[in-house]
Chain A
Amino acid sequence: MDKLDKELLSQIADFHTIPQGSFNIRKNGESLDRKSTKDIEIISKKDKSGIDIIVKEGVKNKSVHIPVIITVGNLNDLVYNDFYIGKDAEVLIVAGCGIHNPSNQKSQHDGIHSFHLAENSKVKYIEKHLGIGTGSGEKILNPTTVVEMKKGSQFEMETIQLGGVSKSNRKTDAVLEDDAKLVIKEKILTTDKQIAKTVFNVVLKGKNSSVEVISRSVAKGKSKQQFISNIKGQNECFGHVECDGILMDKAVIESTPKIVAKDLNATLVHEAAIGKIAGDQMIKLQTLGLSEEEAQNEIIKGFLR
């Protein structure tokens, strides 16, 4: 592992040393290092590129890190990772992809992550995406997350893309059974001519299932963002989608809400607000002695925290 690898890993997965617990590091389309534990086993897939991560029943307070790094251009990395979370298990999963593309040819990573949550299991899932490198080659990231949630399971997902990614197409599909709870927090910053698309499809199939989606994004330069959410309530359930976007320069943000209730006791809410930084927020911070630029930076930093 060289200095660049370490820098990418620290930024996307908070890797400062080799982590406790299970991990798999993938570099330029190949497995670089791996550790399985008795609680969380990692096995290579035989039929296609990717791994199966098996979290045993009843495992508590364990973590698994599966970061991906790409340090070359002209690479198209497609990977399928399946997570099987045993009954009553509680686990932290840290994924994410960092691309350093020094070339003038594109680098792309498509990670297809499928989560199978057994009854009453709990997962906190963090994925960070980052693009760096001075070459003109595009840095493309297309993460797909599929979540199947059995009765009483909980899935909390934080998805963070704070700059440098030329194009991203983020897709999240989830089906929730009785008492399952899904929370998704998304933070996106785009600059220059970057394009970021996010699509959420959530089916609230079970009684007392709930989903909360909080999306905060900042679009600068001539970047474009598209946010599409489609929540279906098929039972007594609760769904809340909150999409806030700060628009700057000549950027464009498009938000398309769709909520479909098929049960009299389904409560579904979608809130969306897009606009420039509020003038009164700028004034308040200027009255504390911050310049216009400093005020703007503080507001964005807080908003995307």
Chain B
Amino acid sequence: MLEFKNVSYKVVDEKTGKERYILKNLNINFPENKVTVITGHNGSGKSTMIKLIMGILLPTEGEILLDGQALNSLSISERANLGISIALQQPVRFKGLTVRDLLNLASKSHNKIPDACEFLAKVGLCAKDYMDRELDDSLSGGELKRIELAISLAKSGKVMLFDEPEAGIDLWSFDSLVDVFDNLKNKTVVIVSHQRKVLESADFVLLLNGANDVKLGKKKEILPLLEKPSCRKLGGLVNG
């Protein structure tokens, strides 16, 4: 069970010099072995939430727990080895490292083409064409995003985090992207997304509407809230 206990994250506003809460005093139990999609307007703290789980950011107050174990004092790699994985919103480019290298590091094995084929095929790429490509500027943003997802699938774990996985992926590939999440139903999956199709694939939706305004509920309870003008005005929900 992944839990937030009184978790806050505050920053110093560069313009005013005053402290500002991105997330304030949140208590959340992420439904185990279910897909939860976090949605909310731009700047509402969605990405911050999953960076806190991965340990890329640390809460300024409160505690994050996984199966009762406090995570705050654990490094990113310790959390990864506990079974947390993340697909980043902005995939990272590496000069010299190839798709094969990253898949090998992620799965801690030497991926021969058939294994890698599986991960890359799930995101619509052919292993033969991509395994030995460097993760550098020669790849387009969309290709890099798909590879990021494949690396995340190769890493796997009991908690899988995805930050805007649809960004940069062409619209006609959406259905297969949604299939990827559908096949992860035995994991605790947390996805940040604005996309209707991704939201519709969720079991639960977590709506972030302010630093301490969080609604977590079953999809059928939360999705209608997004149709309300007050929520629509906040932007975000996109058909696709």
- Per the bound structure, the CA–CA distance linking A295 and B77 in Å amounts to 10
A298 x B76 contact (CB < 8 A): no
Indicate with 1 or 0, residue by residue over B95-127, a CB within 8 angstroms of chain A CB atoms: 111100110011010000000000000000000
Given contacts A298-B105, A302-B101, contact A287 B94 (CB under 8 A): no
B167 on interface, CB distance cutoff 8 Å: no
A272 on interface, CB distance cutoff 8 Å: no
A286 x B96 contact (CB < 8 A): no
B171 on interface, CB distance cutoff 8 Å: no
Give every chain B residue within 8 A of A299 (Cβ-Cβ).
94, 96-97
* Residues A248-305 near B (CB distance < 8 A): 278, 280-281, 283-292, 295, 298-299, 301-305
Give every chain B residue within 8 A of A286 (Cβ-Cβ).
75-77, 80
A-B contact count (CB 8 A): 62
**In the assembled complex, how far is the CB of residue A113 from the closest CB belonging to chain B, in whole angstroms?**
27
B105 x A288 contact (CB < 8 A): yes
B222 on interface, CB distance cutoff 8 Å: no
A138 on interface, CB distance cutoff 8 Å: no
Give every chain A residue within 8 A of B77 (Cβ-Cβ).
286-287, 289-292, 295
B2 on interface, CB distance cutoff 8 Å: no
A288 x B96 contact (CB < 8 A): no
B206 on interface, CB distance cutoff 8 Å: no
**In the assembled complex, how far is the CB of residue A184 from the closest CB belonging to chain B, in whole angstroms?**
17
A167 on interface, CB distance cutoff 8 Å: no
**In the assembled complex, how far is the CB of residue B164 from the closest CB belonging to chain A, in whole angstroms?**
16
B97 x A298 contact (CB < 8 A): yes
A216 on interface, CB distance cutoff 8 Å: yes
B92 x A284 contact (CB < 8 A): yes
- Per the bound structure, the CA–CA distance linking A1 and B42 in Å amounts to 69
A288 x B155 contact (CB < 8 A): yes
A302 x B105 contact (CB < 8 A): no
A179 on interface, CB distance cutoff 8 Å: no
* Residues B82-97 near A (CB distance < 8 A): 85-86, 88, 90, 92, 94-97
* Residues B39-72 near A (CB distance < 8 A): 54, 56
**In the assembled complex, how far is the CB of residue A85 from the closest CB belonging to chain B, in whole angstroms?**
30
Counting chain B CB atoms within 10 Å of each CB, which of A283, A288, A292, A302 scores highest? A288
Which residue in B76, B92, B96 is a CB contact (below 8 Å) of A304?
B96
* A-B pairs, 9 with minimum CB distance: A302-B96, A302-B97, A289-B80, A286-B76, A303-B96, A284-B92, A286-B77, A289-B81, A280-B92
A-B contacts besides A287-B54, A287-B77, 19 pairs, CB < 8 Å: A278-B92, A281-B92, A283-B76, A286-B77, A286-B80, A287-B80, A287-B88, A287-B155, A288-B102, A288-B155, A289-B155, A290-B105, A295-B77, A298-B97, A299-B94, A302-B101, A303-B95, A303-B97, A304-B96
Chain B residues within CB distance 8 Å of chain A: 54, 56, 75-77, 80-81, 85-86, 88, 90, 92, 94-98, 101-102, 105-106, 108, 151, 155
Chain A residues within CB distance 8 Å of chain B: 216, 244, 278, 280-281, 283-292, 295, 298-299, 301-305
